[in-house]
Amino acid sequence: MLAGQCCFKPATELYPGFAGTVAAVGALPSLAEGHRYSRTDRMAMAAARDAVADFDGPASDLRESGIVMASTVGGLSEIDAEISRGPAAWYRQGGLSRAASYPVSRVAASVAEHLGIEGPTCAVSVACASGAMAIALAANLLLDEAAPMVLAGGSDALCPFTLSGFNSLQALDPEPCRPFDQNRKGLNIGEGAAVLVLETLARATRRGARILAVLRGWAMTNDATHPTAPRKDGLGLACCIQRALEMAGCGIEDVGYVNAHGTGTPLNDIAETHAYESAFHGRSRPIPVSSTKSYFGHCLGAAGALEAAITITAMQTGALFPTLRLTDPIESSGIDWLRGELRRQPLPVAMSVSAGFGGSNAALVFGRSRA
């Protein structure tokens, strides 16, 4: 991302005749019981393993951790259209173990099994806002002292199910997507997983942990407007942003960067633009906004967690990632569309915003640790 590269490639193997995209992923863990885990599960396990790789606290803390994992398709990544021709036969012909991996709860359970975690475990399925909501719900678990720390994130594998579904809605761009561009045509589906380790600031400070960021505020709202389309005036999302800032104790001047949902669809991007215009109205200088889906596509249930990680990376490196291929931005007021060259500036506070089918919105406000 620092080099401005995106990881798109044609998806012809997965979806013949359609020029979609696939995000490249690294090696997945080799498991003796690998057949029990879907690709979604395995990506989640890989991300979770990396997230706790340098955890040096008490083993009991890791064992008692909570897990909140987001996914939209779960193990449906393994399914094929043949199931509808004879479900029972398909299940009996070796599909049983795979069938057991269909529920999205398996994603969280797989992470728990992989890392030997025995704390509160759940999976969140709120379409494309899932990943951000997983982080918000994990933060609430910490407020409730339900676990010493919580692994929160999301995972979704690219599969015919989602490609076909978004294609049926005519929501896919056959070319690499152009979020917030006036000539945008739709989204590209990606795949991936991201997991964040959350613990209270007091506890992390006490154990001398390397604190990457402080989650200062979070909020969740719903548009209650349409099953798939966002509210056109963006007020549901604007309300979500305002509530997250309120919880964070931040004003609109404090935010240095917004990692947008920015799918590249005509409806989302205009609604989101209105949301930023409304939420940051009265700010003395334009709010910097970019969509990093232009690098790896829309990773659905993983998107919110992945983009939260990128937002934290931006804060740590002082690098504000531009939206790729954004040449003719949507007309707006008060928005500084990040495009072209990578911008570098200190970033004490940044925000990650997500939205999804069903009208759900989520906003996360991150700050740098003073520790």
15, 37, 257, 280: residue in contact with another protein (rule CB under 8 A): 15
Interface pattern 98-127 for another protein (x via CB under 8 A): -xx-xxxxx-xx--x----xxxxxxxxxxx
Catalytic residue among 128, 159, 177, 299: 128
**Residue 96 in contact with another protein, rule: CB under 8 A:** yes
How far lies 334's CA from each of 155, 258, 339, in Å? 34, 13, 15
How many chain residues touch another protein (CB under 8 A)? 75
**Residue 21 in contact with another protein, rule: CB under 8 A:** no
Contact set for another protein, span 201-240 (CB under 8 A):
219-228, 236, 239
**Residue 84 in contact with another protein, rule: CB under 8 A:** yes
Residue 159 known to be catalytic: no
Using an 8 Å Cβ cutoff, are 294 and 327 in contact? Answer: no
Q: Which is nearer to another protein, 65 or 294 (CB)?
A: 65
**Residue 78 in contact with another protein, rule: CB under 8 A:** no
Choices 14-22, 250-258, 267-275, 289-297; region in contact with another protein by CB under 8 A: 14-22
19, 55, 167, 182: residue in contact with another protein (rule CB under 8 A): 167
Beta carbon of residue 17, minimum distance to another protein (angstroms, whole number): 6
Only one residue has tokens 């029972």, namely 88
Beta carbon of residue 41, minimum distance to another protein (angstroms, whole number): 12
Catalytic residue among 239, 274, 298, 299: 298
Contact set for another protein, span 137-156 (CB under 8 A):
137, 140-141, 143-146
Cβ partners under 8 Å of residue 264, min gap 6: 173, 177, 178, 179, 180, 181, 184, 185, 186, 187, 188, 291, 293, 294, 298
Beta carbon of residue 219, minimum distance to another protein (angstroms, whole number): 8
**Residue 364 in contact with another protein, rule: CB under 8 A:** no
| Nearest one of 276, 130, 244, 253 to 194, comparing CA atoms | 130
Residue 261 known to be catalytic: yes
Beta carbon of residue 92, minimum distance to another protein (angstroms, whole number): 5
Q: What is the DSSP letter of 74?
A: G
**Residue 17 in contact with another protein, rule: CB under 8 A:** yes
**Which SS3 state, helix, strand or coil, does residue 213 take?**
coil
Q: What is the DSSP letter of 95?
A: I
Interface pattern 273-312 for another protein (x via CB under 8 A): ----------------------------------------
Which spans in the chain are helix H? 39-51, 59-63, 87-90, 96-99, 105-115, 130-143, 160-168, 201-206, 235-248, 266-279, 293-296, 303-317
**Residue 161 in contact with another protein, rule: CB under 8 A:** yes
What whole-number distance in Å separates Cα of residue 200 and Cα of residue 195?
A: 16
**Residue 169 in contact with another protein, rule: CB under 8 A:** yes
Only one residue has tokens 């561009």, namely 181
Choices 22-30, 162-170, 302-310, 335-343; region in contact with another protein by CB under 8 A: 162-170
Dihedral, CA atoms, 156, 158, 159, 161, nearest 10 degrees? 60
What whole-number distance in Å separates Cα of residue 143 and Cα of residue 141?
A: 5
What whole-number distance in Å separates Cα of residue 238 and Cα of residue 204?
A: 32
Catalytic residue among 6, 159, 261, 299: 261
Residue 240 known to be catalytic: no
**Residue 174 in contact with another protein, rule: CB under 8 A:** no
How far lies 222's CA from each of 115, 125, 229, 269, 302, in Å? 34, 14, 12, 17, 19
Contact set for another protein, span 40-69 (CB under 8 A):
63-64, 67
The tokens describing 312, both together, are 């934290």
The amino acid at 9: K
**Residue 19 in contact with another protein, rule: CB under 8 A:** no
Positions marked active-site: 128, 261, 298
